[in-house]
Protein backbone atom coordinates (compact mmCIF):
# COMPACT_ATOMS: atom_id res chain seq x y z
CA UNK A 1 0.00 0.00 0.00
CA UNK A 2 1.03 3.63 -0.46
CA UNK A 3 0.43 6.84 1.45
CA UNK A 4 0.54 10.36 0.08
CA UNK A 5 2.99 12.60 1.92
CA UNK A 6 3.09 16.37 1.60
CA UNK A 7 6.44 16.85 3.36
CA UNK A 8 8.75 15.61 6.10
CA UNK A 9 10.32 17.92 8.68
CA UNK A 10 13.47 16.34 10.01
CA UNK A 11 13.58 17.81 13.53
CA UNK A 12 10.96 19.66 15.60
CA UNK A 13 10.52 20.49 19.28
CA UNK A 14 6.92 21.77 19.08
CA UNK A 15 5.07 18.75 17.69
CA UNK A 16 4.94 16.47 20.70
CA UNK A 17 7.32 15.47 23.50
CA UNK A 18 11.05 15.77 22.93
CA UNK A 19 12.70 16.07 19.52
CA UNK A 20 10.58 14.68 16.71
CA UNK A 21 10.55 14.02 12.99
CA UNK A 22 7.22 15.30 11.62
CA UNK A 23 5.43 13.73 8.65
CA UNK A 24 2.76 15.91 7.04
CA UNK A 25 0.15 13.78 5.29
CA UNK A 26 -1.90 14.95 2.32
CA UNK A 27 -5.65 15.35 2.47
CA UNK A 28 -8.06 16.99 4.93
CA UNK A 29 -11.88 16.98 5.10
CA UNK A 30 -11.98 20.23 7.11
CA UNK A 31 -11.64 23.82 5.91
CA UNK A 32 -10.66 25.73 9.03
CA UNK A 33 -10.72 29.50 8.59
CA UNK A 34 -7.25 29.76 10.16
CA UNK A 35 -5.67 26.74 8.43
CA UNK A 36 -1.88 27.07 8.15
CA UNK A 37 -1.53 24.30 5.59
CA UNK A 38 -4.00 24.81 2.72
CA UNK A 39 -1.43 23.12 0.50
CA UNK A 40 -2.24 19.82 2.28
CA UNK A 41 -6.00 19.85 1.58
CA UNK A 42 -5.92 17.62 -1.48
CA UNK A 43 -5.26 13.87 -1.16
CA UNK A 44 -3.18 12.04 -3.86
CA UNK A 45 -1.47 15.26 -4.93
CA UNK A 46 1.93 14.72 -3.38
CA UNK A 47 4.65 12.05 -3.31
CA UNK A 48 3.64 8.45 -2.61
CA UNK A 49 5.51 6.24 -0.13
CA UNK A 50 5.05 2.73 1.17
CA UNK A 51 5.10 2.49 4.98
CA UNK A 52 8.57 0.90 4.77
CA UNK A 53 9.92 3.63 2.46
CA UNK A 54 8.71 6.31 4.87
CA UNK A 55 10.19 4.45 7.83
CA UNK A 56 13.55 4.20 6.06
CA UNK A 57 13.45 7.96 5.53
CA UNK A 58 12.69 8.92 9.12
CA UNK A 59 14.82 6.32 10.93
CA UNK A 60 17.92 8.29 9.94
CA UNK A 61 17.00 10.83 12.62
CA UNK A 62 16.55 8.26 15.40
CA UNK A 63 19.75 9.21 17.24
CA UNK A 64 18.33 12.71 17.88
CA UNK A 65 15.05 11.56 19.44
CA UNK A 66 16.36 10.61 22.88
CA UNK A 67 14.00 8.97 25.38
CA UNK A 68 10.98 11.26 24.86
CA UNK A 69 11.09 12.04 21.14
CA UNK A 70 10.09 10.10 18.05
CA UNK A 71 7.85 10.52 15.02
CA UNK A 72 4.76 12.73 14.75
CA UNK A 73 2.32 12.24 11.89
CA UNK A 74 0.35 15.40 11.14
CA UNK A 75 -1.33 16.92 8.10
CA UNK A 76 -3.67 17.68 6.61
CA UNK A 77 -5.63 15.05 8.48
CA UNK A 78 -3.68 11.79 8.96
CA UNK A 79 -6.87 9.88 9.76
CA UNK A 80 -7.78 10.09 6.05
CA UNK A 81 -4.96 7.60 5.50
CA UNK A 82 -5.42 5.68 8.73
CA UNK A 83 -4.35 2.26 7.46
CA UNK A 84 -1.10 3.62 6.03
CA UNK A 85 -0.27 5.50 9.25
CA UNK A 86 -1.08 2.39 11.29
CA UNK A 87 1.39 0.28 9.30
CA UNK A 88 4.01 3.03 9.50
CA UNK A 89 3.54 3.38 13.28
CA UNK A 90 3.84 -0.39 13.65
CA UNK A 91 7.27 -0.28 11.98
CA UNK A 92 8.32 2.63 14.19
CA UNK A 93 7.32 0.90 17.40
CA UNK A 94 8.99 -2.36 16.38
CA UNK A 95 12.20 -0.37 16.04
CA UNK A 96 11.96 1.57 19.30
CA UNK A 97 10.68 4.87 17.83
CA UNK A 98 7.88 6.63 19.71
CA UNK A 99 4.71 7.50 17.80
CA UNK A 100 2.59 10.65 18.07
CA UNK A 101 -0.62 11.37 16.15
CA UNK A 102 -1.52 15.02 15.47
CA UNK A 103 -5.18 15.12 14.47
CA UNK A 104 -8.54 16.86 14.72
CA UNK A 105 -10.24 13.52 15.31
CA UNK A 106 -12.54 14.11 12.35
CA UNK A 107 -12.74 10.49 11.14
CA UNK A 108 -13.59 7.23 12.92
CA UNK A 109 -13.50 3.90 11.12
CA UNK A 110 -11.89 0.47 11.56
CA UNK A 111 -8.54 1.68 10.19
CA UNK A 112 -8.49 4.52 12.72
CA UNK A 113 -9.38 2.19 15.58
CA UNK A 114 -6.46 -0.05 14.60
CA UNK A 115 -4.16 2.97 14.32
CA UNK A 116 -4.79 3.96 17.94
CA UNK A 117 -3.40 0.59 19.07
CA UNK A 118 -0.02 1.73 17.74
CA UNK A 119 -0.17 5.35 18.96
CA UNK A 120 1.89 6.38 22.01
CA UNK A 121 0.45 9.89 22.37
CA UNK A 122 -2.07 12.09 20.57
CA UNK A 123 -2.09 15.82 19.95
CA UNK A 124 -5.83 16.46 19.59
CA UNK A 125 -6.84 19.75 18.00
CA UNK A 126 -10.13 20.70 19.66
CA UNK A 127 -10.95 23.67 17.50
CA UNK A 128 -14.21 24.85 19.08
CA UNK A 129 -16.29 23.71 22.04
CA UNK A 130 -19.79 23.80 20.54
CA UNK A 131 -21.37 22.32 17.42
CA UNK A 132 -22.46 25.62 15.86
CA UNK A 133 -19.05 27.31 16.03
CA UNK A 134 -17.24 24.15 14.97
CA UNK A 135 -19.42 23.82 11.87
CA UNK A 136 -19.20 27.53 11.02
CA UNK A 137 -15.44 27.89 11.26
CA UNK A 138 -14.21 24.43 10.19
CA UNK A 139 -16.99 22.66 8.32
CA UNK A 140 -16.62 19.75 10.74
CA UNK A 141 -18.29 18.44 13.89
CA UNK A 142 -17.50 19.01 17.56
CA UNK A 143 -19.49 15.88 18.39
CA UNK A 144 -17.21 13.84 16.11
CA UNK A 145 -14.12 15.16 17.89
CA UNK A 146 -15.62 14.25 21.27
CA UNK A 147 -16.38 10.73 20.01
CA UNK A 148 -12.74 10.44 18.95
CA UNK A 149 -11.62 11.65 22.38
CA UNK A 150 -13.76 8.90 23.94
CA UNK A 151 -12.04 6.39 21.68
CA UNK A 152 -8.65 7.67 22.82
CA UNK A 153 -9.74 7.19 26.43
CA UNK A 154 -10.91 3.63 25.72
CA UNK A 155 -7.48 2.86 24.26
CA UNK A 156 -5.64 4.60 27.14
CA UNK A 157 -3.83 6.93 24.73
CA UNK A 158 -2.41 10.01 26.52
CA UNK A 159 -3.69 13.24 25.00
CA UNK A 160 -2.44 16.81 24.78
CA UNK A 161 -5.27 19.01 23.54
CA UNK A 162 -4.49 21.93 21.25
CA UNK A 163 -6.51 25.07 20.65
CA UNK A 164 -5.76 27.86 18.17
CA UNK A 165 -6.81 31.10 19.87
CA UNK A 166 -8.18 33.70 17.43
CA UNK A 167 -9.08 37.30 18.35
CA UNK A 168 -12.80 37.94 18.15
CA UNK A 169 -13.65 34.25 17.70
CA UNK A 170 -12.60 32.15 20.69
CA UNK A 171 -10.23 34.30 22.78
CA UNK A 172 -12.69 34.54 25.64
CA UNK A 173 -13.21 33.09 29.09
CA UNK A 174 -16.34 31.15 28.10
CA UNK A 175 -14.42 29.07 25.56
CA UNK A 176 -11.54 28.42 27.95
CA UNK A 177 -13.95 27.33 30.68
CA UNK A 178 -15.56 24.84 28.28
CA UNK A 179 -12.12 23.50 27.42
CA UNK A 180 -11.35 23.20 31.12
CA UNK A 181 -14.51 21.10 31.61
CA UNK A 182 -13.40 18.76 28.85
CA UNK A 183 -9.88 18.33 30.25
CA UNK A 184 -11.27 17.60 33.71
CA UNK A 185 -13.63 14.96 32.28
CA UNK A 186 -10.99 12.85 30.56
CA UNK A 187 -8.26 11.32 32.75
CA UNK A 188 -6.08 10.59 29.70
CA UNK A 189 -5.69 14.32 28.94
CA UNK A 190 -2.24 15.17 30.27
CA UNK A 191 -1.95 18.76 29.05
CA UNK A 192 -3.40 21.55 26.92
CA UNK A 193 -1.70 23.93 24.50
CA UNK A 194 -3.15 27.35 23.65
CA UNK A 195 -1.67 28.37 20.29
CA UNK A 196 -1.83 32.04 19.27
CA UNK A 197 -3.31 32.73 15.82
CA UNK A 198 -0.60 33.77 13.36
CA UNK A 199 -0.69 34.73 9.67
CA UNK A 200 2.57 33.19 8.46
CA UNK A 201 0.41 31.09 6.14
CA UNK A 202 -0.87 34.10 4.17
CA UNK A 203 1.76 33.66 1.46
CA UNK A 204 0.54 30.09 0.83
CA UNK A 205 -2.99 31.31 0.16
CA UNK A 206 -1.64 34.00 -2.13
CA UNK A 207 0.47 31.54 -4.12
CA UNK A 208 -2.52 29.19 -4.42
CA UNK A 209 -4.71 32.10 -5.51
CA UNK A 210 -7.33 31.48 -2.86
CA UNK A 211 -8.64 33.92 -0.28
CA UNK A 212 -7.38 33.67 3.30
CA UNK A 213 -10.59 33.97 5.38
CA UNK A 214 -8.86 35.70 8.30
CA UNK A 215 -6.61 38.04 6.33
CA UNK A 216 -8.07 41.04 8.17
CA UNK A 217 -7.93 39.46 11.63
CA UNK A 218 -5.09 40.61 13.92
CA UNK A 219 -2.66 38.06 15.30
CA UNK A 220 -3.25 36.97 18.88
CA UNK A 221 -1.31 38.77 21.59
CA UNK A 222 1.03 36.70 23.74
CA UNK A 223 -0.20 38.54 26.83
CA UNK A 224 -3.75 37.39 26.10
CA UNK A 225 -2.56 33.80 25.74
CA UNK A 226 -0.91 34.06 29.15
CA UNK A 227 -4.16 35.39 30.66
CA UNK A 228 -6.19 32.55 29.17
CA UNK A 229 -3.67 30.00 30.44
CA UNK A 230 -4.20 31.35 33.95
CA UNK A 231 -7.94 30.80 33.59
CA UNK A 232 -7.39 27.28 32.24
CA UNK A 233 -5.11 26.36 35.14
CA UNK A 234 -7.16 28.05 37.90
- For position 164, what pLDDT does the model report? 97
pLDDT tier at 149, thresholds 50, 70, 90: very high
- For position 40, what pLDDT does the model report? 95
Contact by Cβ (8 Å): 5, 25: yes
Give the span between the Cα atoms of 96 and 116, in whole angstroms.
Answer: 17
Q: Is the pLDDT of residue 142 over 90?
A: yes
pLDDT tier at 104, thresholds 50, 70, 90: very high
- For position 94, what pLDDT does the model report? 97
Which fold would CATH assign to domain 3-233?
TIM Barrel (3.20.20)
- For position 45, what pLDDT does the model report? 81
- For position 52, what pLDDT does the model report? 98
pLDDT in tens, 65-96: 998 999 999 999 999 999 999 999 999 999 99
- For position 44, what pLDDT does the model report? 85
Give the span between the Cα atoms of 70 and 27, in whole angstroms.
Answer: 23
* Residue of 82, 75, 89 lying closest to 26 (CA atoms): 75
Q: Which helix (H) or strand (E) holds 55?
A: helix 51-58
pLDDT in tens, 155-178: 999 999 999 999 999 999 999 999
Q: What is the mean pLDDT of the chain?
A: 96
Q: How far is CA 107 from CA 5, 7, 127, in A?
A: 18, 22, 15
- For position 146, what pLDDT does the model report? 97
Q: What percent of the chain has pLDDT over 70?
A: 100
Domain ranges in the chain?
3-233
Q: Is the pLDDT of residue 46 over 90?
A: no
- For position 120, what pLDDT does the model report? 98
User: What average pLDDT does range 113-124 have in this prediction?
Assistant: 98
- For position 23, what pLDDT does the model report? 97
- For position 75, what pLDDT does the model report? 92
Amino acid sequence: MEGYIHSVQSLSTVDGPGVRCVVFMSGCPLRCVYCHNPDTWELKKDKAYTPFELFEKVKRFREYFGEKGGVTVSGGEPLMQGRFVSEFFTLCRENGIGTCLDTAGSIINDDVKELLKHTDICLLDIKFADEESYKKFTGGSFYQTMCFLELLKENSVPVITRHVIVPGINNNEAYIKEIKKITESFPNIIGSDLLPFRKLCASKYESMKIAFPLAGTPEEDDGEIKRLYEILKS
